[in-house]
Structure 1
Amino acid sequence: MVPTPLLNILIENKLNGNKNKEWKRNLIIILSCEKPKIVLHNKCPPATQVEARKYWEESDKIAHCYKLARVTSVLYKQLENCKTTKAILHKLEDMFRGQAALA
């Protein structure tokens, strides 16, 4: 994938425990542009909705990769077992609850 100007925002700003609110805001902007933001606001459709479920799963895979690729190695080790993008988001919120809240 060729980095776009939006994707460069994440490339240049890896989450390391600082500026969590800004990192999440930037990630949501990129996911909105790339279209996998659906996974942050919707549950995976049931297996009976084949096309909708396939789209959701593909979107989740893209978002999941973006999130894991843009954190430090220490955070990656704590997040790598999260099965979905939303699970990563919840874990990060729990981890940084004592700091400024994530957007």
Structure 2
Amino acid sequence: MSSHLSVILTQNKLTGENFNDWKRNLLIVLNFEKHNFVLTQPRPPTPAIDAPDRDFVALERWDNSNLSAMCYILVSMSNVLQKQHEEHQTARQIMDNMEKIFGEQTIQAKTDAIKGLMTCRQKVGTPINEHMMTVMAYLSEAQANGAEIDAATQLVMVFQTLSNDFDLFQASYNLNRKEMSLMECTCF
């Protein structure tokens, strides 16, 4: 494991209250180390003795990645949580249990982000790029906690937060059905 990545895990150990941040950091490490697939893909069945070599290689890769992912997960949590989870056989089992224990934090964080977005309004005199950074932070937080918001809906939500100074822009957008990303909205 890269020393920079080990710092992420050791400095952000799961204590309970920091589940969302811990999970985000853990997924960064697992993605970088290419072990994240064990959280979503089941273990391949044990191949028959006469199966092609690729079947044995796939099983070995899954087992090795699962062991690595479990070690990363366990080393990045408090001793009490380690003790509670050291008997699990897969990284997925550990993460599923962590979601059961701390999942309410995720739901609350998603709710808070969406609520913040729905009540966010551009203040008079606030530059559009500054306002858009605030809006994008809410959207990012909501999506990081499981909200699925397509690009068109994101734009509609953004338009609802803009001051009346952007009414003509919104009307033009609606008339022309121009395709636009959130980043392009920051350029006004």
TM-score norm. by structure 1 comes to 0.89
Structure 1: gaps spanning 5 or more residues: none
Structure-2 residue corresponding to 1:10: 9
Structure ranking higher in helix proportion = 2
Matched, 1:92 2:92: no
- Which amino acid letter does the alignment assign opposite residue 12 of structure 1? Q
Structure-2 residue corresponding to 1:59: 65
What is the alpha-carbon root mean square deviation over aligned residues? 1.6
Aligned ranges 1:17-96 → 2 under 5 Å: 17-48=16-47, 49-96=55-102
Give the stretch that moved more between structures: 92-101 or 80-89: 92-101
**Take 1:67 and 1:25, find their aligned partners in 2: how far apart are those partners?**
12
The alignment covers a number of residue pairs equal to 102
The one of the two structures with greater contact order (alpha-carbon pairs below 8 A, sep at least 6) is 1
- Which amino acid letter does the alignment assign opposite residue 60 of structure 2? K
Aligned residue for 1:44, secondary structure, equals coil
Q: Percent identity?
A: 37
- Which amino acid letter does the alignment assign opposite residue 19 of structure 2? N
Post-superposition Cα deviations, 1:40-83, rounded to whole Å, max 9, x if no partner, equal: 11111111121101000000000000111111111112111111
Asked if the contact 2:8/2:25 (under 8 Å) is kept, the reply is yes
**Take 2:5 and 2:76, find their aligned partners in 1: how far apart are those partners?**
13
TM-score norm. by structure 2 comes to 0.51
